[in-house]
Structure 1
Amino acid sequence: MTNYVICERSLHHAHAGSKARDDIRQVLESQSWQPFEVRPGENKGYFDKLVCVGRTLAVWHRLERTVRCGDVVLVQFPLIMYNKVSLYALPSVRRMKARGALFVFLIHDLETLRGYSYTDFDKQWVTEADLLISHNPRMSEVLRKYGATVPIVEIGIFDYLLPQANPVPMEQRHGIDIAGNLSHGKAEYVYRLAERFPKADINLYGPKYDRRNGKTAWYRGIVAPDELPDKLEGRFGLIWDGDSLDTCGGYYGKYLTVNNPHKLSLYLAADKPVIIWNKAALAPFVVEQGVGVAVESLQEAMAVEYGMTQSEYARMVRRASQLGQKLREGWFTREVMAKVQAVLPSLRRENKER
């Protein structure tokens, strides 16, 4: 019996999403999972979508010819392609399951919660899994609402693999870091932050920053994911989304109440405490671990950065460093995969009895 992990190479290598997927792949390959390469969609329009349909059918038929009864296939969901096009893979999944293969879906994102209008997309995939790897209990509840009846295990937090770490020394840090997609649609709050707190000390990292309407003095540019932890200059990393300074609103704010933002892993991998919205799914984790502060508004976030004592900050840095070491080494991925391996024997027995 062979374990396979579906692997896609992201076309946007400065994007945190590719880092999360590549890290999962690296840990699984170290545990003897076999990579099965598929090509991602290129988001180039209608013609590319048609090409992607044919490519998807071909590669999943090739997987059908490879997988045998008792084999396990891990899919990092959603696939990196047009969402509707990825549905063309589902008939192959069903045929492989009918022949006795098992499918594990590791959830990276739930597209419906991010405003994707084709509302059955997530459900169609989720209900085909034999085992699901969720972010946290809140996401597991959503998966149950989507119709999942299979076992669900939770990763807790995503790892952030790094061969070595040389974060900015504590005494050289200043202000608050904001890393990620800086477009108006995703992070409108950044532009409003400049209006309300023009003297704030902010460090911005990431793509799609509108320099014409944003504060250019704050922008530090785009940095590759493996290099970014050593570049972050701030005392804290901020986890916030949406268009409001008073709460995390809209689809992206709602999404924070369910998902594990990968930027939390980024900040902790840099030995950096965080400031997180108090209704985010991982706010309790941050507070319990002593690696940051949960706040209701960005006004409160500014007060935390300005007002925290050096001794209190140093204590948070120590705890962030301890947790960051685990993330850099892949501890949480290995832990959740141990849970997966513990469940697989019972799933195989159930398969034989069908």
Structure 2
Amino acid sequence: MNTPNPHANGTSGKRRDPLLLNKIAGGILSAGLVFWIATHAAGIISGKDAPKKPVIATAAVATAPAGGGVPSIDGLIVKADVSKGASFVAQQCAACHSVNSGGANGVGPNLYGVMNDKMFAKAGYDFSSAAKAKASGVWTYQKMNEWLDDPQKDVPGTRMGYTGIKNDQVRADTIAYLRTLSSNPIPLPKPGAGGATVTAAAAPAGLSSGAPSIKPLLASAVVAKGESFFQQQCSACHSINSGGANGVGPNLYGVVGSPMFAKAGYSFSGAVKKAAHGKWTPHKLNEWLYNPMKDIPGTHMAYPGIKNNQVRADVVAYLNAQSASPAPLK
């Protein structure tokens, strides 16, 4: 029996792979390609060999304005709705901040008197080092505007984990309300970018808000409805009991028939003192309550007014009733 000689064909017992040379060449090419990609990618990432045109077209991204500041909302503050600001603070801020005079600090500092007060310096409250480093001067309208827009952007490192108030009008309403948390509110800001222009006219002689007459409505006014409105809209700033203390606004007991803007112990603005002529009559209260800021430009009372004629008549009737000698409503 013949046995095959394994050395006769030069294979040493193994058959040669016919694709061996192709595989070797392919490996060399692959290694070279990987090396080329690595070196060029490094150049692109580092900026050394950045391509002249992007491979994939991307949408242009708007850049932040120079300085990165928040636009002024002074014009919006002038015509802001304080009651809406108060409602917002009660819903969004009351869990961390008290707002009453002498109120205790909580998670955040008490906010009474915050406007025009030193920044991040409320007595008894321990502010973060980031906030202290940011503190410069007092809380102005613009500084408060920037802070409330985005606290964490305004003061990186602050402990205040609140995302901010992005709606300009809501922020203006809130700041207008914070302004009222004082026994002597700072003057309203001059209108700036972000709000309607308001002309600062000289205080008129007397009242001239353009309020429609409520004389025919006074006879049918409902005192109880006026009282309900007052409790909802006015009691945060005004007391109305006999001998009651002044607050953000003056005590209003006996206001009808008393001298205009002259409540003992209350500091009225220069603007309203110039407009004070005679005593408060139902007609003058009607003009004032319709639009205080139009009636007397420069007033500290940042309240948009009562536009509904019957509601205004009900409120005047209620104010008139809060007196030892109510006046006849004519």
Tell which structure's C-alpha radius of gyration is larger: 2
> Which one has a larger percent strand, Structure 1 or Structure 2?
1
Task: Give the TM-score, by structure 2 length.
Answer: 0.25
Task: Give the TM-score, by structure 1 length.
Answer: 0.24
> Which one has a larger percent helix, Structure 1 or Structure 2?
1
